[in-house]
A = this chain, B = another copy of it.
Amino acid sequence: MALVFPCSPQIHAVLLVCLALLSFADGRKLLVVPMDGSHWFSMREVTDELWHKGHEIVVVAPEINLHIKAGENYVMKEYPVPFTKAELEGHVQAFVQVVFEERPFLERFVKIYERLKNTSNLFLATCSHLLYNKELIRYLEETKFDAVFMDPMVPCGQIIAEYLSIPSVFFLRGIPCGLDYQAIQCPNPPSYVPRIFTTNTDHMTFPQRVKNLLFSLLDLILCDFAYAPYTKLASEFLQRDITVTELLSHGSVWLMRTEFAIDYPKPLMPNIVTIGGINCAHKELSQEFEAMVNASGEHGFVVFSLGSMVSEIPMKNAKEIAEAFGTIPQTVFWRYTGETPPNLAKNTKLVKWLPQNDLLAHPKARAFITHGGSHGIYEGICNAVPMVLMPLFGDQMDNAKRIESRGAGVTLNIIEMTSKDLSDALNAVINEKSYKENINRLSALHLDRPIHPLDLAVHWVEFVMRHKGAPHLRPAAHDLNWIQYHSLDVIAFLLAVVLVTMFISLKCCLFCYRKCFYKKERVTKSSKSKTQ
């Protein structure tokens, strides 16, 4: 998809700039408000492709962030935030530490909740510093963008879209409390659409359906609680009352990283575009990795990564894992920056970073040990590599369940598992035919698509820029209140009509009956009196 020039990187860069400048005649201006973290990786693939198509891309990001770096294919506009790099990294480390701590369930829940609240406050402060950065906002006003491209998990970009009166395109895996489905007005029946954190599948027993409905109700409270500060911030900044649901309901197109070889089928709306697997393009391995891969011999290799956030784990867990790796004949590539476990076997290569998708695409890849992040599971499916899943937090438990319920992987609890559990799981996914067959089937379904998700995403961003939105995809449900949407007023009216009709009919019958009865009675009485 990307253009490739057979020349030096310098000439390549110059040519790309010239090409971009030339095509800016037809190009449009896109403002990108990404969310920090791994979410940005696949979003960036879309912005890169848009840049190659001649559009001007401006990325707005906090000065202090984890992954949003200056790039060749976009202009970066940074703004100051009230925390340091060390503080931000400290937050992440503290979060990971809490995840790995063995504590009673309730205590663990409270700790994780506190950490999430801290992270949420960090995001809120970042958003507030963006909105009240007068110089930056003036620049955004003057630049006359055609659209905003954003991750709606943090609704900051939509507040700006609203302020600048320009349309927006959302790019997301989903909003945990279901705010996305509320904002799209998409039906989402709890009877067969599993809620996040439940680890339910789409086929639920009665107790699972009870749990699912309870989680749906909890979602309402959670959404309200999590997004209330943004409601306040947006209302203050836009100087009118607006809720986050209403804000997000103005999104023109929702590019959702979902797809039904992995996710369970559920209702969609016309402005939802499914682009699951957008992150699966792979390139050739570097010489270093190619050499290591070739050295793995007939047994092939296993890839192990816990995602961009977790590259260190407590020694106790690391030792269990290292021991398990020693029991399998495959070479293991383990992305790990912590202290080397003393029992590390020879077949295990610790690397600070690994080209995960490129390794998985290699025919010698035998298994993928992953935390079950949405990018990871799509890379596993795209490349048809069976998985051992060690979910840590967020939607990872549910992603793991999706793979496991399809028979394409085994889920383990990284904190409680023993080295034998991991060794057994690896042996199963590598040697039992069913895992490979199932992942092959899922992969074939997933890859058999009429258009690549990246092209689809690019098309819809361009569509929104060209047509100044996509109002023809906005359902009229947005103009109805809850009672109207569910036709409760109409049902009440029709019931009233039926009842009134029945009442009048009954009264008429009674009236007629009494008239006849009264006559009869009178006749009987008079005849009686006559005989008397």
Query: A residues bordering B, Cβ < 8 Å?
Result: 186-187, 189-192, 202-203, 206, 209-210, 213-214, 260-261, 264-271, 274, 444-445, 448-451, 455-456, 459-460, 463, 466-467, 470, 472-477, 479-480, 484-487, 489-491, 493-494
Chain B nearest CB, measured from A372 CB (Å): 19
Chain B nearest CB, measured from A464 CB (Å): 10
Complex Cα spacing A274 to B268, Å:
13
Chain B nearest CB, measured from A271 CB (Å): 7
Residues in B whose Cβ lies below 8 Å from that of A448:
463, 466-467
18 A-B Cβ contacts within 8 A?
A: A187-B187, A187-B267, A191-B487, A191-B490, A192-B485, A206-B489, A210-B493, A213-B490, A261-B472, A264-B476, A265-B474, A265-B476, A268-B269, A445-B470, A449-B459, A450-B451, A450-B455, A451-B451
Question: From A485, which residue of chain B is reached at the shortest CB distance?
Answer: B191
Complex Cα spacing A320 to B528, Å:
77
Q: Quick one: which of B190, B270, B466, B484 contacts A191, CB cutoff 8 A?
A: B484
Q: Quick one: which of B265, B449, B487, B493 contacts A269, CB cutoff 8 A?
A: B265
Residues in B whose Cβ lies below 8 Å from that of A203:
476, 479
Question: From A203, which residue of chain B is reached at the shortest CB distance?
Answer: B476
Complex Cα spacing A511 to B484, Å:
45
Q: A267-B267, A270-B260, A490-B209 are in contact. Are A191 and B480 (CB under 8 A)?
A: yes
Residues in B whose Cβ lies below 8 Å from that of A455:
450
Residues in B whose Cβ lies below 8 Å from that of A261:
472
User: Once the chains bind, are A202 and B487 in contact (CB under 8 Å)?
Assistant: no
Question: From A488, which residue of chain B is reached at the shortest CB distance?
Answer: B191
Residues in B whose Cβ lies below 8 Å from that of A269:
265, 267-268
Complex Cα spacing A90 to B271, Å:
46
Chain B nearest CB, measured from A484 CB (Å): 6
Q: A267-B267, A450-B451, A490-B213 are in contact. Are A202 and B475 (CB under 8 A)?
A: yes
Complex Cα spacing A270 to B494, Å:
34
Question: From A190, which residue of chain B is reached at the shortest CB distance?
Answer: B487
Question: From A214, which residue of chain B is reached at the shortest CB distance?
Answer: B494
Chain B nearest CB, measured from A146 CB (Å): 15
User: Once the chains bind, are B267 and A494 in contact (CB under 8 Å)?
Assistant: no
User: Once the chains bind, are A477 and B192 in contact (CB under 8 Å)?
Assistant: yes
Point out which of A268, A274, A487 has the most chain B C-beta atoms below 10 A from its C-beta: A487
Residues in B whose Cβ lies below 8 Å from that of A489:
206, 209
User: Once the chains bind, are A191 and B267 in contact (CB under 8 Å)?
Assistant: no
Q: Quick one: which of B209, B260, B266, B475 contacts A192, CB cutoff 8 A?
A: B475
Chain B nearest CB, measured from A501 CB (Å): 14
Question: From A475, which residue of chain B is reached at the shortest CB distance?
Answer: B265
User: Once the chains bind, are B444 and A467 in contact (CB under 8 Å)?
Assistant: yes
User: Once the chains bind, are A268 and B268 in contact (CB under 8 Å)?
Assistant: yes
